[in-house]
Amino acid sequence: MLKRLLAAALACAASFAAHAEEVDPADWDQVLQQAQGQTVYFNAWGGAENINAYIEWAAGELKKRYKVTLKHVKLDDTAHAVATVVAEKAAGRDQGGSVDLVWINGENFAAMKERGLLFSPGWAENLPNWRYVDYENKPTITTDFTIPVEGLASPWGMAQLVFFYDSARMEAAKLPRNADELLAWAEANPGRFSYPQPPDFTGSSFLKQVLLEKADRSVLERPVDEEIFAEATKPLSDYLDALHKVAWRSGRAFPQNYPAMKQLLADGELDIIFAFNPAEASSAIANGELPDTVRSFTFPGGTLANTHFVAIPYNANAKAGALVTANFLISPEAQVRKEDPAYWGDPTVLSMDKLEPDARAAFASIDLGVATLKPEELAPALGEPHPSWMERIEDEWKRRYTAEN
Amino acid sequence: MLNRLGPTLTILLLTGPIAFGLAGTVLPALGFLPALDGMKFTLAHLRDLFSEPAILISAGLSLVAGVVTAFLSLLAVMLFVAGFAGTRAFGRVQHLVSPLLSLPHAAAAFALAFLIAPSGMLARLVSPEMTGWERPPDLLIVNDPMGLSMMAGLVVKEIPFLLLMTLAALPQVPLRETRMLTASLGYGRVAGFVLGSWPAIYRQIRLPVFAVIAFASSVVDVAMILGPTRTAPLAARLVTWMNDPDLSMRYLASAGALLQLAVTGLALAFWLGLERLGAALSKRAAIRGWRFNQDALLRAAGLAMMILSAGIVFAGLATLALWSFAGLWQFPDALPASFTLRTWMRMLPSILEPLQTTLLAGLLSTLIASVLAILCLMHEEETGRRPGRGALTLLYLPLLVPQVAFVFGLQLLLIYAGVLATLPALVLAHLVFVMPYAYLSLKEPWYAFDRRYDWIAASLGKGRARRFFSVRLPVMTRAVLTMAAVGFAVSVGLYLPTVLVGAGRLTTVTTEAVALASGGNGRVIGVYAFWQMLLPMMGFAVATFVPALIFRRFRGMQV
State the pLDDT confidence band at A14, using cuts at 50, 70 and 90: very low
CB-CB under 8 Å, A263 with B521: yes
Strand order in the sheet with A272-275: A272-275, A162-166, A294-297
Number of H helices, E strands in chain A: 15, 11
Q: Are residues B497 and B437 in the same domain?
A: yes
**Contact map slice: A 215-254 vs B, CB within 8 A:** 248-250, 252-254
The residue among B180, B163, B146 whose CA lies nearest residue B90 is B163
Question: Taking a contact as any Cβ pair under 8 Å apart, which residues of chain A between 345 and 404 contact chain B?
Answer: 398-399, 401-404
| Cis-peptide, bond into residue A313, ω within 30° of zero | no
> Please, are residues B78 and B300 in contact by the beta-carbon 8 Å criterion?
no
Among B429, B503, B46, smallest CA distance to B261 is for B46
Residues B30 and B104 both lie in one domain: no
* Sign of the four-CA dihedral B521, B524, B530, B535: negative
Instruction: Find the domain containing B432 and state its range.
Output: 1-41+346-559
Q: Among partner residues B245, B331, B521, which is closest to A82 by beta-carbon distance?
A: B245
CA distance B307 to B293: 24
Mutate to test the interface with A, among B121, B230, B252, B516 (most CBs of A within 10 A): B230
pLDDT, residue A74, reads: 80
**CA B421/CA A161 separation, integer angstroms:** 37
Q: Which one of B316, B340, B364 terminates a domain?
A: B340
pLDDT band at A234 (very low <50, low <70, confident <90, very high): very high
Q: Judge: A403–B231 Cβ closer than 8 Å, yes or no.
A: yes
> What residues of chain B lie within 8 A of the CB of A80, using their CB?
245
Helical pair B105-116 and B509-517, crossing angle rounded to 10 deg: 30
Rounded to a whole number of angstroms, the distance from the CA of B408 to the nearest CA of chain A is: 18
Q: Which CATH architecture has domain A22-158+306-372?
A: 3-Layer(aba) Sandwich (3.40)
Query: Please, what's the largest Cα pairwise distance for chain A?
Result: 85
Same domain, B2 and B13: yes
Contacts of B440 (CB under 8 A, 6+ apart): B395
Three-state DSSP at B114 gives helix
Size of interface A-B (CB pairs under 8 A): 105
A266, closest residue in chain B (CA to CA): B330
Identity at A294, one-letter amino acid code: V
- As for how many domains chain B has, the answer is 2
| 3-class SS of residue A164 | strand
Is residue B373 a contact partner of residue B483, using CB atoms and an 8 Å limit? yes
The residue-averaged pLDDT of A302-331 equals: 96
Domain locations along chain A: 22-158+306-372, 162-297+381-401
Both ends of chain A: CA-CA distance in Å? 72
Together in a domain, B213 and B293: yes
Give the pLDDT score at A21. Answer: 54
Going by C-alpha positions, the residue among B184, B175, B151 that lies closest to residue B76 is B151
Cβ of B240: how many Cβ atoms within 10 Å?
13
* Facing residue for A269 by CB, picked from B118, B228, B504: B118
Q: Which residue of A has its CA nearest to B51?
A: A399
**CA distance to A211, B10, B449, per residue, from B469 (Å):** 74, 22, 14
Report yes or no: A136 at the B interface, CB cutoff 8 Å: no
Cα–Cα distance, A132 to A149 (Å, whole number): 17
A93-107 pLDDT tens trace: 888 888 999 999 998
- The confidence score (pLDDT) of residue A143 equals 93
Name beta bridge partners: A74.
A44
Bond preceding residue B332 cis, omega within 30 of 0: yes
Partner-chain contact A253 B140, CB within 8 Å = yes
Tell me what pLDDT residue B157 has: 95
Chain A within 8 Å of B418 (Cβ-Cβ)?
Answer: no
- Nearest-CA residue of chain A relative to B240? A199
| Residue in A248, A259, A291 nearest the CB of B520 | A259
Instruction: Find, among A19, A62, A55, A57, the residue nearest to A37 by Cα.
Output: A62
Question: What pLDDT band is residue A405 in, cutting at 50, 70 and 90?
Answer: very low
Choose the mutation target among A263, A289, A293 for the interface with B, i.e. most B CBs under 10 Å: A289
CATH of domain A162-297+381-401: 3.40.190.10
Domain match, B63 and B198 both: yes
Cα distances (Å, whole numbers) of residue B189 to A166, B43, B168, B179: 58, 55, 21, 7
Per CB-CB distance under 8 Å, the chain B contacts of A257 are 518-519
Tell me how close the Cα of A253 comes to any Cα of chain B, in angstroms. Answer: 6
Chain B residue with minimum CA distance to A200: B518
| Among B134, B229, B352, B523, the residue to mutate for chain A (most A Cβ within 10 A) | B229
pLDDT band, residue A404 (cuts 50/70/90): low
Supply the pLDDT for residue B150.
Answer: 97
Which distant-in-sequence residues (6+ apart) come within 8 Å of B106 by Cβ?
B221, B222, B225, B493, B495, B510, B513, B514, B517, B529, B532
Please say if the pLDDT value at position A320 is more than 90.
yes
Using alpha carbons, select from B69, B428, B59 the residue that is nearest to residue B261.
Answer: B59
Do the domains A162-297+381-401 and A22-158+306-372 match in fold?
yes
A98 inside 8 A of chain B by CB: no
Asked if A80 reaches chain B (Cβ–Cβ under 8 Å), the answer is yes
d(CA B27, CA B46): 12
Do residues B253 and B408 touch, judged by C-beta distance below 8 A? yes
Most confident range, picked from A46-50, A104-108, A178-182, B118-122: A178-182
CA B475, CA B547: separation in Å to the nearest integer?
10
Residues from chain A that touch B515, judged by Cβ atoms under 8 A, are 76
Same-domain pairing of B84 and B223: yes
In the predicted model, is pLDDT for residue A47 greater than 80?
no
Q: Chain B residue closest to A77 (CA)?
A: B245
Q: Are residues B307 and B353 in the same domain?
A: no
Binary contact (A87, B247; C-beta < 8 A):
yes
At B39, which amino acid appears? M
| pLDDT top residue among A85 and B4 | A85
pLDDT at B348: 85
Out of B57, B136, B342, name the one closest to residue A269 (CB): B136
Answer whether A238's CB lies under 8 Å from A221's CB: no
| Neighbouring-strand partners of residue A41 | A71
A256, B518: Cβ pair inside 8 Å? yes
Locate all alpha helices (DSSP H) within B325-341, ordered by sequence: none
B228/A267 Cβ within 8 A: no
Complex ipTM:
0.83
Residues of A in contact with B328 (CB under 8 A): 266, 288-291
- Considering the domain architecture, whether residues B419 and B531 belong to the same structural domain is answered as yes
Q: Are residues B307 and B357 in the same domain?
A: no
The shares of helix, strand and coil residues in chain B, as percent rounded to the nearest 5, are 75, 0, 20
CATH number for position B67: 1.10.3720.10
Which residue positions in chain B have pLDDT lower than 50? none
pLDDT value of residue A3:
44
Contact A391, A226 (CB under 8 A): no
**Domain end marker among B311, B340, B369:** B340
Q: What is the least distance, in Å, from the CA of B38 to any CA of chain A?
A: 15
| B117 closest CA partner among B137, B94, B90 | B137
Rounded to the nearest angstrom, the minimum Cα separation between B482 and chain A is 37
Looking at the fold, whether B538 and B418 belong to one and the same domain comes out as yes
**With a threshold of 0.90, does the pTM exceed it?**
no
Same domain for B409 and B279, yes or no, is: no
Nearest Cβ partner for A76 among B230, B346, B504 = B504
- Domain final position from B318, B340, B362: B340
Give yes or no for a contact between B213 and B267, defined as CB atoms under 8 angstroms apart: yes
Q: Is A375 or A20 the better-scoring residue by pLDDT? A: A375
DSSP lists the bridge partners of residue A102 as: A43, A311
Kindly report each contact of residues A218-227 with a partner whose C-beta sits within 8 Å and lies 24 or more positions away, as own/partner. A220/A385, A220/A386, A220/A389, A221/A146, A221/A383, A221/A385, A221/A386, A222/A146, A222/A386, A223/A386, A223/A388, A224/A386, A224/A388, A224/A389, A224/A391, A224/A392
Cβ distance of A403 and B54 shorter than 8 Å:
yes
Cβ within 8 Å, pair B338-A398: no
Q: Which of residues 254-283 of A touch B (CB under 8 A)?
A: 254-257, 259-260, 263-264, 266-269
| SS3 (DSSP) at B529 | helix
Question: Do B496 and B386 sit in the same domain of this protein?
Answer: yes
Restricting to B residues 52-71, those with a Cβ less than 8 Å away from any Cβ of A are 53-54, 57
Are the C-beta atoms of residues B535 and B492 closer than 8 Å to each other? yes
